[in-house]
Amino acid sequence: MSQIMPMQAFGPERIPVSRMALGCMGLAGNWNPAEVGAEHPRKAIASFEAALEAGITFFDHADIYGGTACESIFKDCLAAVPNSREKIFIATKVGIRKGYYDHSPDYIKESLQGSLDRMGIDYVDMYQLHRPDPLTHPGETAAALDEMVESGQVRMIGVSNYYPQQTLALKRYLQAPIVSNQIAISLLRLDPIYEGAAGGNGDGVLDQCLELGITPLAYSPVGGGWLSGKRSIPSDHPHREKIERILAIFAELAPVYNDATPTQLALAWLLSHPANIIPLVGSNNPEHIREAAEAGSISLSRIDWYKIWVASRGNAVP
């Protein structure tokens, strides 16, 4: 398979970004900044370099990742690869505090400055609301976000874990466009792909993304690692049968796609969707990053895409 990572246009300015992103939640290798040692930056830099070599240009953070350590270590990554900042797309998130959510204007402004300072950068390419905050009026949050865009500290606005009506509520007050919605989607969580208001168990997120020109970012795209084929499935796992069905169809299809691994087929399935889903590869292991990146060269046939979907559903399409 080719090592060349395909690109796609992102946001209203159609900025080219890689079809896959590196999810930086585990970059620090620790959730306690006080326990981050000298070996953690070295591992993070190796992962960053592997991602760049694989053609990944999109890096997704959050202020809470690693208890802020992931953003701090990313400063070391940028310093280790001179001139890398202007060649990549950096996104981060705000809004989760210890035990509650907070989208109040003062807090998100303070948090943005903290993220910029930790990463040693002047702006982020995209700032995302991590989870909806029921106690902050979307108009107040929107005003603060628009101010950030106008100041140049933020180039684009995204949301995360938003259902369609929550996205519309924010959109009603926001001058800047909402360019992405980061959601959990994989063959183990199909809710965003189902019919939404038309029935079934869906939430309609992907339909809204297509309608409004929003790019879906998929976290846990390999089902928390269960679809990688590298983990032993406990007998009492609630999705054991589904995982086994999916891995069986992956084994059947692997020879058709140059012996693609389960991870690569799980990612290729998401990449085939017309909403231009960008899977977030959540790994700080260079080998796993390189393996995942090769999924960008797999083009599933329509028939095989449906075979995989049917395996996940557990029944044939109507």
Nearest to 214 by CA among 295, 152, 276: 276
Pair of tokens at residue 92: 């981060």
Determine whether 306 is an active site residue. no
For residues 55 and 169, give the distance between their C-alpha atoms in angstroms, rounded to a whole number: 36
For residues 143 and 127, give the distance between their C-alpha atoms in angstroms, rounded to a whole number: 14
For residues 286 and 1, give the distance between their C-alpha atoms in angstroms, rounded to a whole number: 18
Sign of the CA dihedral with 117 first, then 118, 119, and 123 last: negative
Q: Going along the chain, which residue ranges are E strands?
A: 7-10, 15-18, 21-23, 58-60, 89-94, 96-97, 100-101, 124-129, 154-160, 178-184, 215-219, 278-281
Which residues make Cβ contacts (< 8 Å) with residue 275, sequence separation at least 6?
Answer: 206, 209, 210, 215, 216
Q: Going along 258-302, which residue ranges are E strands?
A: 278-281
Q: Which of 65, 101, 107, 163 is catalytic?
A: 65
Contact by Cβ (8 Å): 129, 101: no
Pair of tokens at residue 266: 């799980």
Exposure on the CB side of residue 14, measured as CA atoms within 13 A: 0
Pair of tokens at residue 117: 């300072």
Contact by Cβ (8 Å): 296, 55: yes
For residues 19 and 10, give the distance between their C-alpha atoms in angstroms, rounded to a whole number: 10
- Residues counted in the chain: 318
Which residues form the catalytic set? 65
